[in-house]
Amino acid sequence: MAIRVRFAPSPTGDLHIGGVRTALFNYLYAKKEKGTFVLRIEDTDEARSTESSTQIIINAMKWLKLGWDEGPGNELSQYAPYYQMKRKEQGIYQKYIDILLEKGYAYKCYCTPEEVEKMREQARLAKQPPKYNGHCANLTKEQREQYEKEGRTAVIRFKMPKEGKIEFEDIVRGHVSFENALLDDFVLMKANGVPTYNFACVIDDYLMEMSHVIRGDDHISNTPRQIHVYKALGWEPPTFAHLSMILGSDGARLSKRHGHTSVLEYRKEGYLQDALINYLALLGWSTQDSQQLFFGNSLIENFSLDRCNSSPATFDPSKLLWMNGEYIRNKSDQEIFDLFLDWISWTKQDDLIKGWDRALLKKAISLEHEKIKLLKDIPGLVDFFFKELSFDQTAVDKILLSDTKKDSAKQVLQECIIRLPNQDFGSPEALEMFARNLAQELGVSNSKVFHPIRVAISGRTQGPSLFHMMEVMGKDEVLKRIQQTADKYFKN
Ligand code: GLU
């Protein structure tokens, strides 16, 4: 059987971590099994669905490189369209409502929302599950006509069996069983003809020939309702896989109070697409040997639904940060430079690096490559190459002006001003040799030479390797800065 899976987001906001994880597992499964990955937009919640949210989801999926074989922008297949509201316009859902009504699996319900709420309240008071009480399930023709005469509109409800149970085998959860008595006569279609999620989802999963439905386990209580609809229509349900919950560090379901939940926030912070994907793949899935890093295509090669875990996964931001650093280190200097420029322009922060020489920027970034954890760290790590020299006061006090160091610091800078004009700046080794020789001649420790030069040219005590930094900065700039520093702190 052909493997066909889908990601079916409701465009009611940003794309969240949990949603991406669902999309990713579907994507990985499709790629691994040489199947088809479908993106379907479930936009039937008219009050909350927006076009801009659809765009956010599509753009985020593209950034994450979770490309779909069928879906928005690729509507040519026999299964199109991929927006549920477009499918509604084509009468797709109405057709099956008519069949269910005719076969007696569904009925028109004329109760108002207030009346339904009252029923629920009564059930609650009687310590029963708060469900619709089936009031309209067996109306006579006359009763229906009477309601219609009153101007009432009808929703379509599913006629749920009152006894028995529904059972299915879930790839992740194993055997699952629900008592029918706990399920209510849920609404299939609203009075305005818009289908509800539980109905539209079944019709589309069937018509789009989904082999598997892989989704978050927050949907597991919807699955028995959906299986009832499949059965009523005489259809075979797909195979289900309900992915484990994602929890925050405190054990509560992941939410805003645990930090960022929207994938765009992570992009803004400077997480890399592949690092985020690698991290999310490990939320509820692992290999036998608990491999952590999956560079290149190895996620697809290793993925299997059988190794998805039913126990909740914990979202650990510090592990994600670590992983991002690993991915950054695994890339070439050129790749990081390109990713940084893309990120700067995507975050509309071009001003941050305005006027910065690109060749120098690339070299500066490569000096700091090992240290970068997030793309957003980069400007702060390299800006001293491009900005007017500005001093960290502690660095100045400690390295240039402390009682024990100021004389040698002054002398080192003065000697640099005299000697560096004739110094070869062609390699870090040559510059290191220069500094070591100077220390020897002056009879001071190496650090008494290295540290003042560092503070004099960068204003700080931390930074890239000193001699690489001098090489990249170039002779003129290094000399200019040392002169400036000497003028400022050692004028007389
Ligand atoms: N539109 C549903 C959601 O966003 C899809 C659930 C499903 O995959 O069936 O949660």
For 45-61, what is each residue's pLDDT tens digit?
A: 999 999 999 999 999 99
Tell the residue nearest (CA) to atom 6 of ligand 1: 8
% of residues, the chain, pLDDT over 70? 100
Rounded to whole angstroms, how far apart are CA atoms 478 and 316? 43
Instruction: Among 24, 42, 48, 214, say which to mutate for ligand 1: greatest number of ligand atoms within 8 Å of CB.
Output: 42
Q: Residue with structure tokens 């909350």? A: 48
For 424-437, what is each residue's pLDDT tens digit?
A: 999 999 999 999 99
Q: Quick one: pLDDT at residue 491?
A: 86
Taking residues 351-377, report their average pLDDT.
Answer: 97
Mean pLDDT, the chain, rounded, equals: 97
% of residues, the chain, pLDDT over 90? 96
For 394-407, what is each residue's pLDDT tens digit?
A: 999 999 999 999 99
Which of 216, 215, 206, 207 is closest to 238 using CA atoms?
206
pLDDT at 341 over 80: yes
User: Per-residue confidence at 492, pLDDT binned at 50, 70, 90?
Assistant: low
Ligand 1, CB within 6 Å, residue ranges: 8-10, 42, 197, 201, 215, 219
Instruction: Among 197, 202, 212, 221, say which to mutate for ligand 1: greatest number of ligand atoms within 8 Å of CB.
Output: 197
Rounded to whole angstroms, how far apart are CA atoms 231 and 100? 11
Q: How far is the CA of 306 from the centre of ligand 1 (A)?
A: 22
Dihedral of alpha carbons 274, 275, 278, 283, sign: negative
Judged by DSSP in three states, 373 sits in: coil
Q: Quick one: pLDDT at residue 217?
A: 95
Q: How far is the CA of 9 from the centre of ligand 1 (A)?
A: 5
pLDDT at 414 over 80: yes
- Asked whether the whole model's pTM tops 0.85, one would answer yes
Q: How far is the CA of 8 from the centre of ligand 1 (A)?
A: 5
Closest ligand 1 atom, residue 7 Cα: 8
CB distance 408 to 442 below 8 Å: yes
Closest ligand 1 atom, residue 9 Cα: 4
Dihedral of alpha carbons 286, 289, 290, 291, sign: negative
Q: How far is the CA of 336 from the centre of ligand 1 (A)?
A: 35
User: Per-residue confidence at 76, pLDDT binned at 50, 70, 90?
Assistant: confident
CB distance 17 to 261 below 8 Å: yes
Q: Please indicate whether residue 256 is annotated as part of the active site.
A: yes
37 has which bridge partners? 5
Q: How far is the CA of 83 from the centre of ligand 1 (A)?
A: 13
pLDDT at 362 over 80: yes
Q: Quick one: pLDDT at residue 284?
A: 97
Q: Quick one: pLDDT at residue 71?
A: 98
317 phi and psi angles, rounded to 5 deg: -60, -30
Buried/exposed 350-371: b ≥16 CB within 10 Å, e otherwise: eeebeebeeebbbbbbbbbbee
Instruction: Among 4, 48, 53, 201, say which to mutate for ligand 1: greatest number of ligand atoms within 8 Å of CB.
Output: 201
Closest ligand 1 atom, residue 22 Cα: 8
Strands (E), 159-277: 165-170, 174-179, 187-189, 212-216, 239-243, 246-247
For 1-34, what is each residue's pLDDT tens digit?
A: 899 999 999 999 999 999 999 999 999 999 999 9
319's tokens: 């592990």
Tell the residue nearest (CA) to atom 4 of ligand 1: 9
Annotated active-site residue in 62, 65, 165, 256: 256
For 149-166, what is each residue's pLDDT tens digit?
A: 999 999 999 999 999 999
For 259-315, what is each residue's pLDDT tens digit?
A: 889 999 999 999 999 999 999 999 999 999 999 999 999 999 999 999 999 999 999
CB-based contacts of 397, cutoff 8 Å, min separation 6:
none
